[in-house]
């Protein structure tokens, strides 16, 4: 394992969370590549930590679908597969559709303002060229809609799915040519929510997700060839 990445210590986070965040970013940025084995001892030495937080981080990464546990081989970085993408995004599409329907009826003036702020922050962070930061800004935009739906069970499902969704979101956002379209989609979703235009809001949200499916599918197929 000759990959170069460093652990970024955060005094406010437990060590296991710092290690998890470091390995997660290394996978999402391609510093740890699909199929690469994650050797606990080598990673511990590289990051200057014990094997325990490495082991805990690998378990969490497995839950997110970023790591696979292979019998008699151990952990390795998971490949991005078209079937996995479609499984996750089909469920996300249905849950996002429900969340925007409910939000149309329940969103408050304060939440609309919060949504506009999130959209503006997303526009600003696009200049950073840090794909993980851009992905987090996109997550925050959608989180406001989930909160506005005011359904705790729905939010739990979306949050759980979000962990599995994150890698595909990052893959999509690596292509800067989609940024202007994303800004436009966010603006249209806000406009429909303001006017309580449920059908139009749902249609726009579904288009928003479908565009992601198409783009990431193209990336996966290109990598195969």
pLDDT at 28 over 60: yes
pLDDT at 1 over 70: no
Top pLDDT among 195 and 81 is at: 195
Per the DSSP assignment, residues forming a β-bridge with 75 are 69
Percent of the chain with pLDDT over 70: 94
Q: Do domains 15-77 and 82-224 have the same CATH topology?
A: no
| Averaged pLDDT of the chain | 90
Delimit the domains of the chain by residue range. Answer: 15-77, 82-224
The predicted structure's pLDDT at residue 225: 66
Choice among 60-74, 98-112, 113-127, 180-194 with the minimum mean pLDDT:
60-74
Are the beta carbons of 212 and 168 closer than 8 angstroms?
yes
Dihedral of alpha carbons 34, 40, 45, 47, sign: positive
pLDDT at 10 over 70: no
If one looks up domain 82-224 in CATH, what number appears? 1.20.120.530
Alpha helices in the chain (DSSP H): 15-28, 40-47, 51-63, 82-106, 109-125, 131-149, 152-173, 179-194, 198-224
Q: What is the 3-state secondary structure (H, E, C) of 49-85?
A: CCHHHHHHHHHHHHHCCCEEEECCCEEEECCCCHHHH
Q: Which two tokens stand for residue 218?
A: 């193209």
Q: Is 177 exposed, middle or buried (0-12, 13-18, 19+ CB in 10 A)?
A: exposed
Model confidence band, residue 8 (pLDDT cutoffs 50, 70, 90): low
15-77 adopts what CATH topology? Answer: Arc Repressor Mutant, subunit A (1.10.10)
Quick one: DSSP state of residue 3?
Answer: -
| Calpha distance 137→134 (Å, rounded) | 5
Please compute the mean of the pLDDT values over residues 198-205 and round it to a whole number.
97
pLDDT at 17 over 60: yes
pLDDT at 3 over 80: no
Cα–Cα distances in angstroms (integers) from residue 121 to residues 112, 183, 208, in the given order: 14, 11, 18
Mind listing the pLDDT tens digit for each residue in 75-89? Answer: 999 988 888 888 988
Mind listing the pLDDT tens digit for each residue in 151-186? Answer: 999 999 998 888 778 888 988 999 999 999 999 999
């Amino acid at each position: 394992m000759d990959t170069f990445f460093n652990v970024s210590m955060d005094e406010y986070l437990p060590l296991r969370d710092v290690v998890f965040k470091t390995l997660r970013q290394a996978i999402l940025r391609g510093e740890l590549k699909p199929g690469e084995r994650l050797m606990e001892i080598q990673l511990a030495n590289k990051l200057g930590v014990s094997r325990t937080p490495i082991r805990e981080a690998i378990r969490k990464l497995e839950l997110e679908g970023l790591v696979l546990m292979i019998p008699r081989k151990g952990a390795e970085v998971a490949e991005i597969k078209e079937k996995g993408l479609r499984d996750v995004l089909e469920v996300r599409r249905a849950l996002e559709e429900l969340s925007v329907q409910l939000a149309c009826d329940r969103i408050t003036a304060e939440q609309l303002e919060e949504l506009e702020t999130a959209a503006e922050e997303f526009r600003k962070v696009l200049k950073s060229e840090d794909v993980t930061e851009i992905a987090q800004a996109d997550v925050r935009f959608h989180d406001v809609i989930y909160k506005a739906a005011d359904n705790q069970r729905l939010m739990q499902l979306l949050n759980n799915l979000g962990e599995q969704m994150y890698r595909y979101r990052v893959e999509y956002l690596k292509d800067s040519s989609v940024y202007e379209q994303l800004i436009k989609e966010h603006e249209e979703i806000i406009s429909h929510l303001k006017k309580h235009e449920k059908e139009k809001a749902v249609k726009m949200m579904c288009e928003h997700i479908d565009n992601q499916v198409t783009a990431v599918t193209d990336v996966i197929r290109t990598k195969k060839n």
